[in-house]
Every structure is written in C-alpha cells, then in structure tokens.
A and B are shown apart, each in its own frame.
Chain A
Amino acid sequence: MDDYSLYISDSLNGTIAGIRGIYPEIGLVVSFLLVIFSELFFVKRIKQLPFWITLISLAVVFTLTIKQFAIGDSLTLYSGMIVLQPASVYFKLLFLLSAILFIVFVRNNQQMQQHKKGTGDLYAVLIAVLLGMNCMAMSANLLMVYLSIETVSIGSYIMVGYISGDGKQAEASIKYALFGAACSAIMLYGISLIYSFTGTLNLNADLLEGLNAIPVWSAGLAITLFLVGLGFKMSFVPLHFWSPDVYEGAPTPVTAFLTTGSKIAGFALLWRVLEAFNSSGNAISVYDFQGLIGIVAIVTMLFGNLAAIWQDNIKRMLAYSSIGHTGFLMMALVANTAGFKSLIFYLFIYLLTNVAAFMLVDKVEQESGSVNISTYLGLGKSMPLTFISLLIVLISLTGLPPTSGFVAKFLVFGSALESYKSSGSSLILWMMITGAVTTVVSLFYYFKVPLYAYLRKTESILPREKFDVKLVISLVLTFLVLIFGIFPQVITDLIN
C-alpha cells in the first residue's frame, strides 16, 4: 500500500497548485450553489432573484476569466487533466457571452416567464452547462473530454425539455437525449479502444506513439469513433440529424443558446484535440485530420445550405443555416494556427447574429403568432424596426459587404487561401469554391423572409409593433453587427 503514499502527497500538492488556474470554474460552482439556494428559499419574496444572482455571478466570472489572460502560454494543471491556454480563455469568454445573452433572452421570453415552474432551475442548469463548456475548452485528457461533453449534454437535454408545453418539446428532448446518449456511448467506446491500444489517456506524445505502433486501420477506427461524440456537439454532416428537429422543437431561447454556446464548445474541443495532436509530433501519419475536416466541411456546407432552401418554418431554416455555417467554420480549422483569429472572429459575429436572429424571430412569433415564413405576409410594413433589423441580420448571415458577416467570411477565405499556399492541396480549393457557391445559395433562402415580408401584400389587419426590451437588445446587436462590418479592427485587435 505504501507505494501509493508517494503519489498522494504529490497529487495533493498538484491539486492545491492547480486551484490558482481555475478561479472562474470555482466561481461558477459557487454561483451554482447560490442560485439553487436562492431558488429554494427566496423566490417567493423576490420573484426574479435567481436571474439577478446568475447575472451578477456571470459578470464576476467574466472578470476572473479576463484575468486568466495573464497566465501567458499554456499551463498544464492537475497532472495533465486540463491545460490552460489563451485560446481556451477566448472560448470561455464566448461561452460566457452566449450564456449572458441566453439569460437576458429567457428573462424577456413570454413562454418561459409564464411557466409555472419558474426559471430558477433553468439558470442553475445553465451554470452547470457553462462549467462543462469551460472544461471542454481546457481538457487535455480523454476522460476530461468525456466528462465535460457529458455534463454539457445532460444539461442541454434538461434545458430542451424544460417547459414541455406541448408534444413538440418533449419529442425534441427525447430525440436529443437518445441521439446524444448513443453518440457519447460510441465516443466512450472509442476512448476505451484508444486507452487499451496506447495505455494512456493524456493527449500527449506517448499516446501518439502508441497509436503509431498499432496497425493504421485500428487507430483510424478508434479515432473515428472518438470523433463521433465530438461531431454530435458540432453537428457536422453525419452527426447533424438531430439538430433541425431539436432546434425547431426546443423553446427559442434554448435554441439560440444551443446553436451558439454548445456549437462553439464543440469547436473549442475540436481545436483543443487538434492542437494537442499537432503540437506533439505530426499527427498526419496517425490520422489525416486535415483531409477528414476538409471533406466533412464541404459536405456540411452543401447539405446545410441546400436543404435550407425548402424550409418554411423560420427556426428550422435557421437550424439548417447554422449547419451551413458549421461547415464554413471548419474551413478555418483546416488552416490550423493561421486560422485561429479568423475562427474566433467568425464565431463571435456568428454568436451575435444568431442570437439577434432568434430574438427577432421570437418577437415576431410572440406578436403575430406566425412561425412560418409564408405567414410573414406584409409584416414588413407593420413591424418596421423588427424587420429592418432582421433584414440586416440575414444580410450578415449571407455575408454581404456592409455587414460584419462579410468581413468574417472574408477572413476565413483569407486563412483558407493562406493554408492553400502552404499546403497546396486542391481540397482546400474545392472547399473555397463550395464556400462561394453555398453563399450564393444561402442568399436565396435568407431572402425569402424579406420577399414575403416586404414584397408581398396581404389584406388582413396586422399587429402593431410593441417597443420592448427584447427589441432594444436586438437593435443593439444589429447595430453591433453593422458597426463591426465597417470597423472590424475594434474586435480583431483584441484577439492576438
């Protein structure tokens, strides 16, 4: 037994030393407890207390995360379980931003506020999911990867099924849960295979040697199965089936959070895995990640944009469009180091645009009760502000110049071209061409909204537009989307 005593003291010292690196996570845990506590005892007296506590705690965590920039280059903690890099700090900031926007959205969402169970629990679950995402951004160990993915997934199953107002939400949550569970089971099996082949769980050099030693197809099988779990979070092509149904069924604020928060988490994890593999020796010999991502990106872009043409339900259309954007983003991943800045910029703009889009869609649904694009007849005139900002957001999603969407796409194209110059593989060329073609196709279904709202008239009386907080927030977001299009350096100087 005594041979273990050597380790205990070391690992104890390691844990104590590691605390210094995970202040934001600790903050999240404390706020998680606070929210549950306030939900149980104080909600009778002050109805919105959980909301305010969550908001304040998120603000505190935000400042703690910004402090983390000071740690300089990467810092491995807890004997290789997690590693803290500036890249993961950026991702953490994006998660926090999407969480804050989610809370504000929930606060102004009629469906959520009228729910008899109240929204206190939702905030608690959100904080748990946020914690999981932070771990995803920092994980360096396969166990840590599995743990963080599972926390985020289980949390989001609950969020999707939170209201279960009608059959749709229940169906969405069951589909999400089953698909998610199956995928994580496959991923777990993949990890177990890797573990049994290499004997180690840490994403480092000796894992790679282990994989080199075994026959190439078995390493390939293990890694492919492992990537299935990852794909579920990012919902690229083979793993995308759940997203249209879940996004349509889930309550709009949750859909907004899923399309932005959990997708960015997926990218953060993929970035982490790629970075780990590439930095410790060349991973090409083991598994051709570039080729895989390239092909998957092309297919995802094509699928997302082409399928979206037929959609009449606005949320389903936005779901397909987010699949399309995933494909486009993977083009930035292919350019590995060069692409990081364009990846973060694109994610940030994608976050703002998507949340604004969902908020506006929710406002239209709330006031005119129409969810399908074909029922948007003539709303352009009766709800001018909403539809002008929705138009600008859609233009940004298409990627037309005055908006920041164009600058984002431009930077991704730039990084892809840069990687083409260094690697010269024609796959990247085909990716860029698909990117261009799908942008044109995307114009068509994004412009169905102004087509119905402005170009078509209707005789029925139309609702007046109510000026409320949600409209203000979406206007601010739209303004930001426009301003970052004209002065993008405000953001890019922050990322380095």
Chain B
Amino acid sequence: MNLLSILTFLPLIAGIIILVAPSGWQKQFKYITLAVTLVQIAISGYIYFHFDNSLRGVDLINSYQFKEQISWIRLDLGSMGKLQIDYFLGIDGLSVPFLLLTSIIMMVATISSWEIKTNLKGYFALFLLLDTAIIGVFCALDFFLFYIFYELMLLPLYFLIGMWGGVRREYAAIKFFLYTLAGSVFMLLIMVGLYFSVTDPETGNHTFNMVHMMNPANYSGDSIFGSLAQQTLLGIPARLLGFIILFIAFAIKVPIVPLHTWLPDAHVEAPTPVSIILAGILLKVGGYGILRICYGIFPDAAIHTSWWLGLIGVVSIVYGALNALAQKDLKRLIAYSSVSHMGFVLLGTASLTAEGAAGSVMQMISHGFLSAMLFFLVGIVYNRVHDREIANFRGLANIMPQYTAFVMIAFFASLGLPGFSAFIAEAFSLIGAFNSETVNGAIPRWMAIAGSVGILLSAAYFLWTLQRMFFGQTRLMGGEEWRTKLNDLTMREKLALAPLALLALILGVFPSLAFDKINGSVLELIHHVTGK
C-alpha cells in the first residue's frame, strides 16, 4: 500500500471510527485525532527525508516520487471516446514540503482544539475529513481527483465555521463557500475543456492526467486548448482564457486583493483551531495550485500575464498591509497581514526566476508556521476573556511574560527579522522579482521596490500592536476580573507554540533544509515555463 494513500486516507478512516464510536467517548476523540496527526507527521517526515532531491518532477512524469496509479473510472461515452480517470498520486519538490507543513499544522490545530466543548464527535469527524481532503489536494496528480479533494475541502470548513464559529458565523461560512465555489465551478468548465483536448500517449483516449496536460505534444490538433489550433472563446484566445479562469479560482484561495474579502470574515468568525488550519494550510492550496496547475498546464499564457500577476502581488502586499494598519480587532489584523504576506508569494511566482519561485514556496511554508502561531496566540487571549480589541488591552507584558515572549517571537518572525524563515523567503522573493527584468523581463523592477515597502509596513503594524497591547502600564478594559483570568501560558499551549517557533527559527538559520527539496522542481518549473 503506497505511503501517500495511507497518509491521505488514514484520517478518513479515523473519522469514520469516531462517527461510529459511541458518543459517550467525548475525551477519546481528542486523543484519537492527536494520534492520527502524530502518525501523519511520522509518515510525512519519513517521506520528506527519503525524498530524492535530484528528481525534478513538474512536467517529467517518471521523475515523480512515491507514485501510485490505479485506473479508477473507465466510462465509455460513445462518440466522445472513453473517459479515463485514474487514481494517480505522486509528489515532487513543489508538494513534499506542504505535506510536512500540513501534518504539523494539523497537530497544532488538534492541540488547540482542546478548547472546543460542544458536539465533539461531529467536530473531530469533520476535522479529519478536512485533513484527508487537504493531503489529497497536495498529492493528487489527476485533475479530476484534485478537483474532488479541492471541493471536499469546502464542506467540512463550511460546517466547522458555521457550527462552532463566532457571532456572524453563518454569514462568514456561506460567504466563504460561495466565493470558493464560484471560482471552482468555472475551473470545472476548463477541466472539461482540457480533458477533451488531451490524449494519453499510452492508452490513446482522453485523460485527466495533469502531467500529460503539461506537455503540448499530447494536445490533439483541433482541440480547444491545443496550442496550434489557436481557438478563441468569446474573443479571447482559449489558452489565455483557461489560464485566467484557473488563476482566478486559485487566486480566491490565495487570496489576492480584489477577491480577499472572505478572509477577514472567515478568520474572525472561525474558532481558533479552524482559523489555524485556514491560515496555515488553506491559503497555501491557492499558491500551490497556481504553481502546479496554472503555470504547469498553461506556461505560454503564464508568460503573457506575468506582468499582471506581479502587479496583483504588489497591490496585495501594500493594500493588505495598509488595511492591517487600520484594524482594531487583533484577529482581523492578522488576517489582513496574511493577505499582505501572501502577496509576496504571488510576486515571487510572477517573477519566473529561480530565486523568486523558491522564495515564494519558502514564504508559503514559513507563513504556514507563523500564521498558525499568530492565530493560536490570538486564540489564547480570546479564550480567556472573549475579547480581541487591541484597545482594550495595555501592558500585558507585566501579567503574562511568557505569552509576551512568544508573541514577540511570532511578531518579529512574521515581520521578516533575519534569523527567521520569513526573512529568507521575503528577501529572495524580492531579489527574484528584481532580478527577473534582466533574466527574462517578466516583471519590471519597480514592482520589487514597491513590494519591499510591504516589509516596512508590516514592521509598522506589528510593532504598533506590540506597543499598544503589551508594553506600558497595565490597564485592562475588564479591570481586575480580566487580570485574574489572564493567567500565563499553560503547558499545553507551550507545547503547541514551541514547535512552530523552533521550526521558523530552524528554517531561518538552515534554509537548505527546505531549499534542497524545492530547488530541483523550481528549476524544472522555470525551464518548463520560460524555456531557459
């Protein structure tokens, strides 16, 4: 049984066990889920360290690793030929870091789920279903399978936000669902179009295999997305339209500026563990999708639109940071800071340089750890006093010293202090963006300069918050009653925070841990897109 399949379906089985188990076992559900996440960490750790860095993946099908390909659906559609869908899992440099990131974040989210009190059975079942869907998205190499896992992610999140969320949870949940579904339904149309354009070299009938979609030889002459047919849909060249629609579908997840308004609502209303997962991993699915699918399948369109992608990236950075500066609610501030930090991912990717792309993947990993830590920290305060307004707290450092230490680590790490992974990621994204004009002219230099303003703004809003909430004389809105409630970190909370801080530090000091795995695939992706 292939490792990836075990990693993907282990949580699903555990989820079913929890569903079937008598609801009296409230306490055991937590421990079952924790055990599952620990096993997942073991497996993904094993995969990470047995990953052969020299194999490049991306568009070379035989250089994917831990592959598993079983024929799943063979529909005979009469004149439309046989529909061939395979259960095809495999990983390469782009997806292997995300497996480890997902398992770790899931473990931290489980620890933080100790605070959930109502309807534990439903909660942990949905939690594990979400886990399966996310791992599946990162491993799937068959577009149909990818789409199923991609949609499967929405259902549990809708209920997790909807049933355990804050005051306006329904509005947030339905808004999140509608946003993502709107993007993915049009992705379905493109997927159908691609399916009919691509034929599998071995079996000769149409296929969903993403890697076959990446190499232009498999496109039949008259097909819609065939590069030589130059068909146009609604006046726009078909391949460009396909790229734009797929990009929009993933951009909603990233999120980029015009399509980001679901993020603050979803985060503010979601319970802490869910917003940890939402920020830690869900945003990375968008970035991963752009790299793997948009850039992989439509490389020619990617070059044309790289200027626009860069512009959107820069706008996201600056606009997100400015918004974060104006927030009064701490969680909403961190949500907008995530929008700004994910802007770097887009800028790095649009640069189509090795530094830029590797920087953006590194930024996704580092932002995964840091945003999970930030949301967990906000959750700690919120669980104690049920208030997140920055203005209501002052001088927390005096009554919660350890908490302040972790907050300072998290804040300084996310604003890009060297020694932490975010600095390496953001610096190399910007260097790549700046460098791209000499290397391939993808995006102009001023975008890198405008992007670097984002670093300054992130320093501004993080330090301003630190100064308002943590330093100075202790004055709390809730007065004495809050002071008694605001006790310092418990062992459980430290157990969740310490690994994240350590990982951010280790990746900052030894970035080769991540870069060695990513380099091969990034170079192959750049070669695939720009031909250099």
Instruction: Give Cα A417–Cα B206 distance, bound, in whole angstroms.
Output: 14
A401/B152 contact (C-beta < 8 A), A443-B178, A444-B174, A451-B170 known: yes
Stretch in A184-192, A215-223, A487-495 with 4+ CB within 8 Å of B: A487-495
Instruction: Give Cα A409–Cα B185 distance, bound, in whole angstroms.
Output: 11
Residues on A with C-beta less than 8 A from B189 are 413, 432-433, 436
Interchain CB contact under 8 A, B76 and A395: no
Interchain CB contact under 8 A, B233 and A492: no
Chain B binding site: helix, strand, loop or mixed by DSSP? helix
Instruction: Give Cα A402–Cα B173 distance, bound, in whole angstroms.
Output: 20
A411 at the interface (CB under 8 A from B): yes
Residues on A with C-beta less than 8 A from B173 are 455
Interchain CB contact under 8 A, A451 and B148: no
B389 at the interface (CB under 8 A from A): no
A337/B79 contact (C-beta < 8 A), A410-B188, A436-B188 known: yes
Residues on B with C-beta less than 8 A from A455 are 159, 162-163, 169-170, 173
B515 at the interface (CB under 8 A from A): no
Interchain CB contact under 8 A, A488 and B73: yes
A417/B186 contact (C-beta < 8 A), A454-B159, A455-B163 known: no
Please, which residue of chain A has its CB at the minimum distance from the CB of B182? A440
Q: Among the listed A439, A443, A489, which residue makes an inter-chain contact with B74, where contact means beta carbons less than 8 Å apart? A: A489
Range of interface residues on B (Cβ < 8 Å): 35 or more
Interchain CB contact under 8 A, A410 and B192: yes
Residues on B with C-beta less than 8 A from A277 are none
Q: Among the listed B155, B174, B186, B222, which residue makes an inter-chain contact with A400, where contact means beta carbons less than 8 Å apart? A: B155
A454/B163 contact (C-beta < 8 A), A421-B222, A421-B224, A440-B182 known: yes
Nearest CB of chain A from residue B303's CB, rounded to whole Å? 26
Residues on A with C-beta less than 8 A from B163 are 454-455
Interchain CB contact under 8 A, B78 and A440: no
Mask: chain B, 53-95; 1 = CB below 8 Å from A; 0 = not: 0000000000000000000011111111001000000000000
Nearest CB of chain B from residue A324's CB, rounded to whole Å? 14
Total residue contacts A-B, CB cutoff 8 A: 103
Residues on A with C-beta less than 8 A from B470 are none
Most chain A CB inside 10 Å of its own CB: which residue of B83, B186, B192: B192
B1 at the interface (CB under 8 A from A): no
Residues on B with C-beta less than 8 A from A400 are 151, 154-155, 181
Instruction: Give Cα A122–Cα B148 distance, bound, in whole angstroms.
Output: 43
Interchain CB contact under 8 A, B77 and A440: no
B177 at the interface (CB under 8 A from A): yes
Interchain CB contact under 8 A, B78 and A338: yes
Q: Among the listed A433, A439, A493, which residue makes an inter-chain contact with B76, where contact means beta carbons less than 8 Å apart? A: A493
Q: Among the listed B77, B152, B186, B222, which residue makes an inter-chain contact with A342, where contact means beta carbons less than 8 Å apart? A: B77
Nearest CB of chain B from residue A287's CB, rounded to whole Å? 24
A450 at the interface (CB under 8 A from B): yes
Residues on B with C-beta less than 8 A from A402 are 148, 151-152
Nearest CB of chain B from residue A166's CB, rounded to whole Å? 34
B234 at the interface (CB under 8 A from A): yes
Residues of A408-464 whose CB lies within 8 A of B: 409-411, 413-415, 417-418, 421, 426, 429, 432-433, 436-437, 439-440, 443-444, 447, 450-451, 454-456
Residues on A with C-beta less than 8 A from B79 are 337-338, 418
Range of interface residues on A (Cβ < 8 Å): 35 or more
A325 at the interface (CB under 8 A from B): no
A417/B224 contact (C-beta < 8 A), A338-B79, A443-B178 known: yes
A236 at the interface (CB under 8 A from B): no
Interchain CB contact under 8 A, A450 and B185: no
A157 at the interface (CB under 8 A from B): no
Instruction: Give Cα A381–Cα B151 distance, bound, in whole angstroms.
Output: 25
A496 at the interface (CB under 8 A from B): yes
Interchain CB contact under 8 A, A418 and B196: yes
Interchain CB contact under 8 A, A440 and B181: yes
A328 at the interface (CB under 8 A from B): no
Residues on A with C-beta less than 8 A from B83 are 414
B195 at the interface (CB under 8 A from A): yes
Instruction: Give Cα A455–Cα B161 distance, bound, in whole angstroms.
Output: 9
B124 at the interface (CB under 8 A from A): no
Instruction: Give Cα A418–Cα B77 distance, bound, in whole angstroms.
Output: 11
Residues of B120-175 whose CB lies within 8 A of A: 147-148, 150-152, 154-155, 158-159, 162-163, 169-170, 173-174
Interchain CB contact under 8 A, A414 and B182: no
B237 at the interface (CB under 8 A from A): no
B395 at the interface (CB under 8 A from A): no
Residues on A with C-beta less than 8 A from B75 are 411, 488-489, 492-493
Q: Contacts A401-B152, A415-B77, A451-B170 given; 14 further ones with Cβ under 8 A?
A: A400-B154, A401-B151, A402-B151, A406-B151, A410-B192, A413-B192, A414-B195, A418-B79, A436-B189, A439-B181, A455-B163, A487-B73, A488-B73, A492-B76
Residues of chain A whose beta carbon lies under 8 Å from any beta carbon of chain B: 337-338, 340-342, 381, 395, 400-402, 406, 409-411, 413-415, 417-418, 421, 426, 429, 432-433, 436-437, 439-440, 443-444, 447, 450-451, 454-456, 487-489, 492-493, 496
In the A-B complex, list the 5 residue pairs whose CB atoms are closest, starting with the nearest: A401-B148, A401-B151, A455-B162, A436-B185, A492-B75
Between-chain CB contacts (< 8 Å), 22 pairs: A338-B78, A340-B78, A402-B151, A406-B148, A411-B77, A414-B77, A429-B234, A436-B189, A437-B185, A439-B181, A440-B182, A440-B185, A443-B178, A443-B181, A444-B174, A447-B158, A454-B163, A455-B159, A455-B163, A456-B170, A489-B73, A493-B76
